[in-house]
Amino acid sequence: MSGEPEAASSARVPEGARIDLHTHSSESDGTERPADLVRSAAGAGLDIVAITDHDTTSGWADAARAGQELGVGIVFGMELSTQYEYASVHVLAYLFDPDHESLRYELARVRAERLRRAKSMVERIGADYPITWDDVVRQTSDGATVGRPHIADALVERGIIANRSEAFTGILHWRGGYYRPHYAPAPLDGVRLIREAGGVPVLAHPATRGRMRLPEEYTKTLVDAGLAGVEIDHRDNTDEGKAQLRDIARRYNLIMTGSSDYHGDGKPNRLGENLTAPDQLRRILGEPTATQAQL
């Protein structure tokens, strides 16, 4: 189980393949179970899809089965929560060993912290609105990584707000009065850990409107630590940010990806709305990886 020669991976990623490398299932804050997510990917005409739930690999097995059944290629991934100063930074991780001990430990810690933080937020919200922790539990699949979207769903169910977006611009906004942070490793530690676990780290949506950007100096330290790529074609990256990212990617020889960041009904993002070029996926597959994609 390690990297493969360029020729072999090229054969499995044909020219013209439609590839979406960033999606969420109900194992985190997406609304479709992993198998249904893969079914939706087939319906959207995708040839290859990555399942990248927040801080968990628990959807991999079901996605693999569905992919086999439906003839959709699966790239096993995850979106790691990290933190730079006060900003949350997401790092996509592909094809790492899900049993790697220190990574597993770190993921368990982040998920436990997310749970603690969600309870604390709900307690604060509960002082002003009729919502309880049980409401949130009902919106969360067993064992799923808990996030603000689950609190949003509970608020919607209670009729307090209309949809997730309304929650994120109001009650759940970091300046909405109820926000609590949670522990997450520094991006640099995240990148190192992903590499240590035999994975390929790619910075997720690094040029999101209204969000802090990592200074290029820091990005350079990430590259030195093994950062392999940047997600450029993503609806939340600004046009100006995309241009800067292309420039950075060229200068540091980084892989350039594109994706939908699909969350089922939880977000307007549609599968395949942004794609990753086949040669860029081949570069990911050409890295030394602990797990093989199912293509």
Single out the residue of 261, 262, 264, 269 in contact with Zn ion (rule: CB under 5 A): 261
**Comparison of 149 and 190: residue with beta carbon closer to ligand AMP:** 149
81 and 110 in contact (C-beta within 8 Å)?
yes
DSSP state of 183: -
Q: Which does 165 bind (CB under 5 to 8 A by kind): ligand AMP, Fe ion, Zn ion, none?
A: ligand AMP
Taking the complex as a whole, the smallest distance from the CB of residue 25 to Zn ion amounts, in Å, to 11
H-run or E-run covering 80: strand 73-84
Place of tokens 């942070």: 181
Which parts of 88-127 interact with Fe ion (CB under 5 A)?
A: 90
- Measured CA to CA, the distance from residue 270 to residue 65 in angstroms comes to 23
Single out the residue of 20, 29, 53, 231 in contact with Fe ion (rule: CB under 5 A): 29
Q: Provide the strand spans (E) within 190-254.
A: 200-203, 229-233
Rule CB under 6 A: which residues touch ligand AMP?
Answer: 29, 54, 147-149, 164-165, 168, 263, 266-267
Taking the complex as a whole, the smallest distance from the CB of residue 278 to ligand AMP amounts, in Å, to 27
Q: Which amino acid is at 95?
A: L
Edge-first strand order for the sheet with 200-203 is 19-20, 48-51, 73-84, 87-94, 200-203, 229-233, 255-258
Q: Segment contacting Zn ion (CB under 5 A): 34-42, 58-66, 76-84, 169-177?
A: 76-84
Taking the complex as a whole, the smallest distance from the CB of residue 2 to ligand AMP amounts, in Å, to 31
Using CB under 5 A as the binding rule, whether residue 135 contacts Zn ion is answered as no
